[in-house]
Amino acid sequence: MIEVTVVLENKSGEPLYLQLYNYFKQEIQSGSIKPREMLPSKRKLSLHLGISQNTVETAYQQLLAEGYADSVPRKGIFANEINSDLILKPSKDSSRNLKVLNEESEPYIIDFSHGKIALEHFPFTSWRRLTLQSLYEEQSSFFLNGDIQGELPLREEIAKYVYHSRGVKCSPEQIILGAGTQYLMGLVTMMIGRDAIFSMEDPGYHRTREAFKDQGVNLIPIPLDEDGISMKHLYESKAQITYVTPSHQFPMGMVMPITRRMELLKWAEEKDRYIIEDDYDGEFRYRGKPIPSLQGLDPYGKVIYLGTFSKSLIPSIRINYMVLPMTLLKKYHDHFSLYKQTVSRLHQHTLWNFMKEGHWERHLNKMRTAYRKKQQTLISSIKKHLGDHVRMIGDDSGLHVLVSVQNPMSEKELIEKAREEKVKVYPTSVYYQDLNSNKGPMVLLGFGGLSEHEIEQGILLLKRAWNLY
């Protein structure tokens, strides 16, 4: 077992688990840690470095997820062999390699990514125990293909959960699991038919837009008003199906009021149209009571409901689900039952046990509290340090806010100036079908993966970067 000489900086602004992960990654890439060499146990390393076992666990999980190491049951964690030829190196003639070198030598100290979550709260111990329990209970069966829609016990738990939390009315038979929203969008497109006219919010989730385009459908962007998707423009589009994020419009953040929801349902019922409702982070609402899902309000069977465990559990688990109306469920069974299930049966079984034993509900309550505190820290920091120089958009729910900066800088300049302070912020122009139609420079600030200290530090650095005094 190797000796570890890493020095962790508590005041660097970078989480300890990330410092530890980067140390092991660099040692493995450079060959200082040899292939198949055993890494220290979590207990011994935590004692040696004076940090918690959860910190070590989080660093090791990242190494495992990215393929730098493998876990051998009852033995330990071992370094993998990394082909050094595949690691990008700086080149005198390559601006791309120079950019990589600069980013590696000057890493971001604060990353306002909306895709990261609070890993420090993930229940590693319970999840590990349930994973092992799943293997011991029915080890051989998980080497075979399972139900094409996903394991029935898990679908039963999901059906109960979405009814109690979001008012979604469905049977387990209506639920289909899939590895990611884009995969499920591919199935929906085939069921509806590529000849149909599709539409979606503009701005809207860019990965869904690209999934539609890759399917070759006619996709029409529908602008927003203060309540969400514009009904006037939707009717004018002649679309037969539309994709919306009513519980927390992505990226603008407005919550669609009940009147607009009813108007949208009426639009769907009138000419046998469909609505795709993506409830990607509906668990996290910070003001008022949650508004029922479109699907739960739908008496006509015109809503395709999408949910995910990426925001509320972990992104890498890749467990998404959709609830199909009965008309489309029949079409799915008649024409698409040859498509195999894309989610690991082991992960499905582990998640089923996790939900059945009550861990899911407890974890969700803990995450709501944690994210509410982080969101409040972000908002108060923006008000305190940036004041009237910025305008916040979409701060009622979810894991991000938009910031419109009142200075002469363009979106690109705002991002570049933030980078110079080693802070990563994100563009909003990518969410518009026409990149040039963005209504003024705005950046997206996610907060799920940052500590409250990092959030405030990041805002202070942005104040300096954008010269907001």
CATH number of the domain encompassing residue 52: 1.10.10.10
CA dihedral 303, 304, 309, 312 (to 10 degrees): -20
Instruction: Tell me what pLDDT residue 100 has.
Output: 41
Q: Pick the residue with more confidence: 294 or 81?
A: 294
Residues 71 and 220 in one domain: no
Tell whether the model's pLDDT for residue 91 goes beyond 60. no
Residues 280 and 351 in one domain: yes
Rounded to the nearest 10 degrees, what angle do helices 452-465 and 359-385 cross at? Answer: 30
Mean pLDDT of 367-384: 93
Residues 77 and 224 in one domain: no
Instruction: Tell me what pLDDT residue 151 has.
Output: 95
Instruction: Tell me what pLDDT residue 2 has.
Output: 66
Assigned domain for 36 exists: yes
The count of structural domains within the chain is: 2
Assigned domain for 276 exists: yes
- pLDDT, one tens digit per residue, over 286-335 is 666 667 899 999 999 999 999 999 888 888 888 999 999 999 999 999 99
Residues 157 and 269 in one domain: yes
Mean pLDDT of 158-165: 94
Mean pLDDT of 262-291: 86
Mean pLDDT of 213-219: 91
- Domain of 53 in residue numbering reads as 16-90
**Residue 17 — pLDDT band, cuts 50, 70, 90?**
confident
Ranked by mean pLDDT, which of 36-50, 58-72, 347-361 comes out on top?
A: 347-361
Instruction: Tell me what pLDDT residue 92 has.
Output: 46
Mean pLDDT of 335-343: 90
Tell whether the model's pLDDT for residue 139 goes beyond 80. no
Residues 242 and 349 in one domain: yes
Tell whether the model's pLDDT for residue 141 goes beyond 90. no
Residues 290 and 353 in one domain: yes
**Residue 106 — pLDDT band, cuts 50, 70, 90?**
low
Residues 191 and 296 in one domain: yes
Length of the chain as a residue count: 469
d(CA 165, CA 329): 23
Assigned domain for 266 exists: yes
Tell whether the model's pLDDT for residue 95 goes beyond 70. no
Burial class (CB in 10 A: 0-12, 13-18, 19+), 328: buried
DSSP state of 285: B
Residues 297 and 231 in one domain: yes
Q: Which of 357, 383, 406 is the last residue of a domain?
A: 357
d(CA 141, CA 143): 5
- What percent of the chain lies above the pLDDT cut of 90? 57
- pLDDT, one tens digit per residue, over 392-403 is 998 777 889 999
Mean pLDDT of 20-48: 88
**Residue 348 — pLDDT band, cuts 50, 70, 90?**
very high
Q: Pick the residue with more confidence: 122 or 439?
A: 122
Assigned domain for 311 exists: yes
Residues 41 and 160 in one domain: no
- pLDDT, one tens digit per residue, over 188-209 is 999 999 899 999 999 999 999 9
Assigned domain for 151 exists: yes
Q: Are 427 and 113 in contact (CB under 8 A)?
A: no
Assigned domain for 291 exists: yes
DSSP state of 397: B
d(CA 34, CA 189): 47
Q: Which of 68, 90, 112 is the last residue of a domain?
A: 90
CA dihedral 68, 71, 75, 81 (to 10 degrees): -30
Instruction: Tell me what pLDDT residue 306 has.
Output: 96
Residue type, 177: L
Q: Which of 323, 341, 357 is the last residue of a domain?
A: 357
Residues 50 and 182 in one domain: no
Instruction: Tell me what pLDDT residue 234 has.
Output: 97
- Tell me the pLDDT of the chain averaged across its residues: 87
| Residue 329: CATH number of its domain | 3.40.640.10
Assigned domain for 4 exists: no
Residues 219 and 285 in one domain: yes
Assigned domain for 382 exists: no
Residues 199 and 315 in one domain: yes
Q: Pick the residue with more confidence: 121 or 236?
A: 236
Q: Which of 33-47, 55-69, 394-408, 431-445 has the lowest mean pLDDT?
A: 431-445
**Rg of the Cα atoms in the chain:** 23
